Amino acid sequence: MHCPFCGHEETKVNDSRLAGEGRQIRRRRECLKCGERFTTFETAELVMPVVIKGDRAREAFDESKLRAGMEKALEKRPVPRESIDEAVSRIVHRVRSLGDRELSARAIGELVMEELRHLDEVAYVRFASVYRHFEDVEAFHEEIERLRNARTQAPAQLRGAHGARHKRSTPRANRDQLPLLPADPAANDAGPEADGKK
| Mean pLDDT over each residue of the chain, to the nearest integer | 77
16-20, 40-44, 78-82: range with highest mean pLDDT: 78-82
What pLDDT shows up at residue 140?
Answer: 64
Query: Predicted confidence band at 81 (pLDDT cuts at 50, 70, 90)?
Result: very high
> Coil, strand or helix: which one is 143?
helix
In this prediction, residue 126 carries a pLDDT of: 86
Question: Looking at the whole model, is its pTM more than 0.95?
Answer: no
Specify the pLDDT at position 139.
66
27 pLDDT more than 60 = yes
Q: Round to whole Å and give the CA distance between 59 and 51.
A: 5
pLDDT at 185 over 60: no
Task: Compute the distance between CA of residue 5 and CA of residue 35 in angstroms, rounded to an integer.
Answer: 10
Q: What angle do CA 18, 71, 75 make, to 5 degrees?
A: 130
Residue 31 burial (CB count, 10 A): 21
Average pLDDT rounded to a whole number, residues 142-156: 70
Highest mean pLDDT pick, 28-37, 54-63, 106-115, 134-143: 28-37
Evaluate if residue 48 carries a pLDDT over 80.
yes
Determine the Cα–Cα distance for residues 19 and 42; give it in Å rounded to an integer: 9
How confident is residue 22, by pLDDT bands cut at 50, 70 and 90? confident
Where is pLDDT greater, at 149 or 176?
149
